[in-house]
Amino acid sequence: MKAEEVNIKNIIQKIISNNFFHIDGMFYINYDCIFSENQLVFPLRTYDLLDFLDGGDIRYRTVKFYHAFKKGIYLTVVILDVNTGKILHRKHRINNDNQICSWLLMETDYLMPEVDDEKVHFVTK
């Protein structure tokens, strides 16, 4: 009996194409509501949460990520508001390509460009 050849690349691609998995203490979450390096989110790490409210208002909070799970057509993230101590849940419908995020979980300083200290100059008046 011949052993079947296993194509590791295909296995990894199948896992990644799922857009969500939990492995070795981290979460890979590849949905529009998550902005992090390589789409990896780590439990107990601090993130920024932006809630997009009616009327165009945005609520900003500093949170700690605890857990994420998929149930049915929804992805749910469980986070802790570090200022109030409240556990928050945010859901995102995952079976709709045109779904608009009503919230965004983002690595702290995700949108901040890296600064080369040698090129920073301070101007005084």
Query: pLDDT for 69-100, tens place per residue?
Result: 988 888 999 999 999 999 999 999 887 766 78
- For the full predicted model, state whether its pTM sits above 0.85: no
Domain ranges of the chain: 18-110
* Full pLDDT tens readout for the chain, 125 residues: 444 555 665 555 555 457 887 888 899 998 889 999 888 999 999 999 999 999 889 999 999 999 999 888 889 999 999 999 999 999 998 877 667 889 999 998 776 655 555 655 444 44
C-alpha–C-alpha distance, residues 54 and 59, integer Å: 11
Beta strand segments in 1-125, E: 20-23, 26-29, 34-35, 40-41, 46-52, 58-71, 74-81, 87-93, 103-107
The per-residue pLDDT of the chain, averaged, comes to: 81
